[in-house]
Structures are given as structure tokens and as C-alpha cells.
Structure 1
Amino acid sequence: MIDLSHAENQIRCVTNFKDLVSTPFNGEVNAICWTRKLTGDFSEIVDKIALSGNITEIEQEELRELRLSEQGQLAREILLNDLKLLKAHGASPVLNVINYYDRDNTYPFFPTDVYSFHVDRSPVPVDTFLCTYHGDSSEILPNSQGIKKVLIPEIRDELRKLYHGTDEGFDSFLSEHFFDLHYQAKPDARPVSLGLGHLWRLAVDHPESQVPPCIHRAPKEKSGKNRLLLIC
């Protein structure tokens, strides 16, 4: 089960894919979860994929060709069905085995990698879908429990030292370098783990959005297990 006690106003749970994609975001709700208890051995799939670097994309043909046990076959069918559902919806899902993401050390006081709480932005209406099947799962930060890093005075002062233009162009500079997408958790924040097997739809910052974008981050790999992640 997912502990939503401190974010229940922000997250709505559904029981099928149709409701996942059709339930509108509104008010404070900017994350919708198709809660599922999946069967099958996803670890077997992770173990049998030939890794190529820290992130390995699994093509459907490769997935179908894996020699798997009965439990591994059950897991494969779930993966293939999730990919099929999302593609039919018009999304472009990618299935990855992740050992780790590259870290951003360009500005030590302000990393902009996916381990930092951030929101996604798009010039057109779109949602982010993701599901972790194996390994550590992503986290959501309730919007009320985060603050934009560019609004924190000491961070803003450091960013101004990097900028050499006019005052009028400073906000554009922050946007062009994606600084304005990142958030810092407040001291009493309680992030929500997205759990294993649940398929999530998260609100994105785009011109037609009626709700705040959903703040989230990739997990630090504490378990030592490679992640099996679907995302689009």
C-alpha cells in the first residue's frame, strides 16, 4: 500500500487504465495513481538484460526473446501490456534498466539532475507517466512541502553571480538553464514513495495546465538493486 496520509489532497487513486488517463487534474490534485499488486518475477528480467552503461533501454523485441521462467513470463506480459496501453493512448513509453543516473556537478550549490526534486515542463499539453517494477521507486513531494530553489535568497544570490545580463533577462536565464524547475523540501517535508507496480500520471508544467505541476525525483539507489522503470 502507498502511504498517502500526508498528501491525500494531491493524489487520486483509480483502479484501471481508462480512469488513469481520463480522470482530470483539478484543484490540488496533480497526481493520479492506478494502484496495482502485480504478479510475476521482474527481477528475473532485470538479471537477464545485457546492460550497456548506467541506463539500458529494453526494446520490445529483446524483451520477447528472453528465455524466462513462468513467473518471468507473467512479468513480461505485464510490461508488454503496459507499453501497449500507453502507446494506444498516444504516449511514447520507454522501458529502462537503471543502475544510476548521471549526477550534475556543474554548479555544486545547485544540481539539476533527476535526483533533485523537480517538475517537468512541456510547450504542449502532456502528462508524465511512470512505473517502477523493481528496485527503488521514485518520490513525490507535496507542493505545499516544497519551495522553488530560485526563490531562496542565498541560492538566488549565487545564481545572480553566474548571470551577466540585464535584470530584465534574469528570469529567462533561470528558465533556459532549467533552474526554475527545481525545488527544495521544507524541513518538515514528508515525500511520498510511489511504490512498486503502480502506474502513475503526473501533471506537467505546460501552457494549458489548470493545476500546479507535480514535484518528483528519482530515488537514490539505496537498495543496490537495478531499477526497472517505465517512463514517458
Structure 2
Amino acid sequence: MHNIFSDSNQIGTVSGFSELVHTDFKGERNALCWYRNLDGDFNEIVAKLKIKENITEVYPKDLLALQLSEKGNIAREIILNDLRLLTDFGASPALNLLKCYERDDEFDFISTDVYSFHVDRSPIATDTFLCTYHGAASDIISNAQAKQKILIPEIRNKLAALHDGPSEEFEDFLKENYFDLHYQALPHAVPVNLGLGHLWRLAVDHPQQQVLPCIHRAPIENKGEYRLLLIC
């Protein structure tokens, strides 16, 4: 199967949900994509949902309450099926209608919000699943094209100045404040946009992980447009 992601060593492509969840990450591969060209009118769903705050969780009952056209109904069935597949697998998917995420502007030299390239971390073996149905889509970047921000000398020195405890506790300070999860793209880096409709599985930093965690970021939203995102 050839598609726009097939030529990347970082990304494996699969043709169905079972293959998505049962294919192992290995080597440089820390992202798997169930590549799909979805039919249906997802814009109609977004237009009929009510956004209550910057991030509004949408439940199956909210989708089922919408009066939709034939194309809108196709889109709804796709979303409900994705939620069902992930729930049956044992994941806890959430469907979010997004205006924007909260920005972190506490420090001018390092950002720890989701618009910054970052990895996810968990104390247990798990993966991140996501699919953007409408709006701007997330980016990933290969680990070779990014550097952990806490290893950049000028950032590390400023973080050390913030830390008022013993030097042997500095690494714990970095981890407790999630500074160690964030990355700076190198000048030659070429991020990969995850596109619309594809269901992704990204490697997470956890104790049993055999590969490097997948570095990713949320996109800057398109002006006047909400995102519809499945994530878990």
C-alpha cells in the first residue's frame, strides 16, 4: 500500500484497526497510520455541535441527537465506529471540539504547552491514538530532527537558575515540571502533517517502551475554524 506516509522510516502504514493496534513499533518506527480517505460531511457535524468552552468533549449521545444530511450521517457513523473500536480495545477515547488549547507563556525561553513539540509519558504501557476529522491537523517529527530542550545549553542554564533546590534534585525538577518532554526542531527538520481522517497510533514514553517516543505537536488552529479531534 503506497501513500504519502509510506516513504518515511518513522511511519508504518496499516490497512485496518486490528493491524493498527497489533503491529509492533521497532527501530525508527514510532508512529503507525491507518490511512483512510473518509467519505462524509464532518463540517456539518462541527457546524451543528455547540462549543461550550475552548475544549468541549462531545459524547455519542450528542452526535446521535444531531439532525444530519446523508453525508453528515455517514461522517457520524465513522466517528461512532472509531469510538467503539477504541473502547472495545480497552482505550478511553475522547472526541473533542476544539477552539484552542491553553497556551503556556510563563517563560519566554521554554514552552510546555501542546503547541510545542513534545512526547507523551505514562507510568504504564500505553499508546496515544488520534484522528483529526475536521480543521488543522497535528504534526510529528523524527527523533533525529529534534533536540530535547533541556539539553540546549542556554535553556538548561535558565532552568538551573529557576531551580532553587540542591543540584542533585535538578533532574527531578525538570521531570516534575514536564520540561524534559519538550523538543526543539533542528533547522533542517521537516515535520510530517498527520492529515485528515487517518487514525494514528503514536509511541509513548513508558517503562516497557522499546522505541523512542513519538515527538508531536498540536497545530495552530485555522482562523475561525474549529477542530474535531478524537484522542486517547
TM-score of the superposition, structure 2-length normalised? 0.97
> How far does residue 118 in structure 1 lie from its aligned partner after superposition?
0.1
> How far does residue 3 in structure 1 lie from its aligned partner after superposition?
3.7
- Identify the residue that residue 171 of structure 1 maps to in structure 2: 171
Query: Match for 1:112: what amino acid?
Result: T
- Identify the residue that residue 134 of structure 1 maps to in structure 2: 134
Which stretches of structure 1, 4 residues or longer, exceed 2 Å deviation after superposition? 1-5
Residue deviations 1:114-168, cap 9 Å, x none?
A: 0000000000000000000000000001111000000000000110111011111
Q: Which runs of 5+ in 1 are unaligned?
A: none
Counterparts of 1:123-202 in structure 2 under 5 Å? 123-202=123-202
- Identify the residue that residue 92 of structure 2 maps to in structure 1: 92
Query: Match for 2:219: what amino acid?
Result: P
CA change 1:3–1:190 in 2 (3 A) is farther
Query: Match for 1:58: what amino acid?
Result: V
Return the alpha-carbon distance in structure 2 between the equivalents of residues 53 and 133 of structure 1.
19
Contact 1:135–1:223 (CA under 8 A) maintained in structure 2: no
Counterparts of 1:60-71 in structure 2 under 5 Å? 60-71=60-71
Corresponding residue SS for 1:184: strand
Residue deviations 1:39-59, cap 9 Å, x none?
A: 000000001011101111101
Query: Match for 1:33: what amino acid?
Result: C
> How far does residue 106 in structure 1 lie from its aligned partner after superposition?
1.5
Q: Give % identity.
A: 59
Return the alpha-carbon distance in structure 2 between the equivalents of residues 120 and 81 of structure 1.
25
Contact 1:133–1:227 (CA under 8 A) maintained in structure 2: yes
- Identify the residue that residue 215 of structure 1 maps to in structure 2: 215
- Identify the residue that residue 104 of structure 1 maps to in structure 2: 104
Residues 1:33 and 2:2 are matched in the alignment: no
Return the alpha-carbon distance in structure 1 between the equivalents of residues 17 and 35 of structure 2.
10
Contact 1:2–1:195 (CA under 8 A) maintained in structure 2: no
Residues 1:4 and 2:5 are matched in the alignment: yes
Name the stretch that deviates more: 217-226 or 87-96.
217-226
> How far does residue 2 in structure 1 lie from its aligned partner after superposition?
6.0
Corresponding residue SS for 2:96: strand
Return the alpha-carbon distance in structure 1 between the equivalents of residues 227 and 215 of structure 2.
20
Query: Match for 1:86: what amino acid?
Result: L
Contact 2:5–2:13 (CA under 8 A) maintained in structure 1: no
CA change 1:87–1:156 in 2 (3 A) is same
> How far does residue 82 in structure 1 lie from its aligned partner after superposition?
0.1
Query: Match for 1:4: what amino acid?
Result: F
Residue deviations 1:162-205, cap 9 Å, x none?
A: 10111111000000000000000000100000000000000000
Contact 2:14–2:33 (CA under 8 A) maintained in structure 1: yes
Return the alpha-carbon distance in structure 2 between the equivalents of residues 149 and 85 of structure 1.
36
Corresponding residue SS for 2:121: coil
Paired residues in the alignment total 231
Return the alpha-carbon distance in structure 2 between the equivalents of residues 108 and 58 of structure 1.
34
